[in-house]
Amino acid sequence: MNVPINLSSFQSQIWQQTKLAQLCGQQKLFHERYEVLRMIGRGGFGVTFLARDVSLPGQPPCVIKQLLPKVSDPSVLAKVRSRFQLEAQMLAKLGNHSQIPMLLDYFVAEGEFYLVQEYVRGVHLVKLVRRCGCLSEKALKSFLNNILPLLDFIHNNGVIHRDIKPQNIICCQDDGRLVLIDFGAVKEVIAQTKDTSDSTTTTHFVGTVGFAPPEQFSLRPTFGSDIFALGVTCLYLLTGKAPLEFSTNPQTGELKWADAVELSDSLAEILGKMLKVSVNKRYKSARAILAALELEPHRTQLANCMVANHQPISDKAGINQEERNLSEFCPPAAKAAITIREWKQRRRRKQQGYHNHIIPSLS
């Protein structure tokens, strides 16, 4: 096998490791239907290529992800193949959502695992921030209201993404929707392989340093792990700074981010809870964050109501002080009822006074 001389050492390594790289720009089809065009991504657990499905009308573009490493042990391959199929089927189910790329195909060939997904035209959020600048508070709320229902959908299907970060969120060129890519569950299947050269099981961390919370490093990710990663993503969108650029509290491990952003107290409190190091102190669900965001515009008004000082009502008003305070926060119908009751009390008092005045004069 002759390696092209015009490749860098990095490209040369990929060319030797992946069959797809060797097919780039060639007439030969992969899996008898895919024309491989170019490499578009490289991570710890796979290489991603842009291809064209020549078997379909219009030869639509697609993305082929070759998962690494290759599994050569037959006994291990059978186990991994079974889990790979289960996870791929779940990914196919999630792909019915408009903000998740559709899974078009998955297969195993010569010990290599492949996923074929819909190609989403657009740019990921890192490029978007570099081109257009950081988000305002208003834009960040819009982002959260857009991405949180998607996260709620994923979690309701029992799936943890494991690798939420700006690079894995694409702003679609066609309609501006946000699309979440590169789910970690399938990668974890490949990562947990047994090396037959010794008796130990090799398990690799799936995620991205800086975005993954402590429990994920312990290989015990939860739904809250995705919430933490989304919180760190928000920090990047607000500041343009990677998570490792923030210092941490040496006692708690919490990121020191408050001085780097300009947010209302209520939104800062929401973001702070998303970023808690302890999973028990974080939001338990995406839906809970959505509820907090919905309440957020009214929190200042509610806080003012809680601490409002009211002038005492004179005894002549004929109404209980507590009832008067409550009336200021009641619906219009309740306020009207209180007003009528006050009027009736004043009228009764006036009639009583008239009665007390008239009766003695007649006696």
Q: How far apart are CA 177 and CA 99, in angstroms?
A: 7
Residue type, 273: K
Q: How far apart are CA 294 and CA 354, in angstroms?
A: 55
Q: How far apart are CA 80 and CA 71, in angstroms?
A: 8
User: For this structure, is 163 an active site residue?
Assistant: yes
Contacts 24+ apart (CB under 8 A), 34-40: 34/62, 34/64, 34/116, 35/59, 36/64, 37/61, 39/14
- The active-site residue, picked from 163, 174, 182, 265, is 163
65 annotated to a ligand binding site: yes
Q: Which residues pair with 42 in a beta bridge?
A: 47
Cis peptide before 149 (omega within 30 of 0): no
Check if the beta carbon of residue 129 is closer than 8 Å to that of residue 240.
Answer: yes
Where is the binding site for ATP, in residues? 65
Active site residues: 163
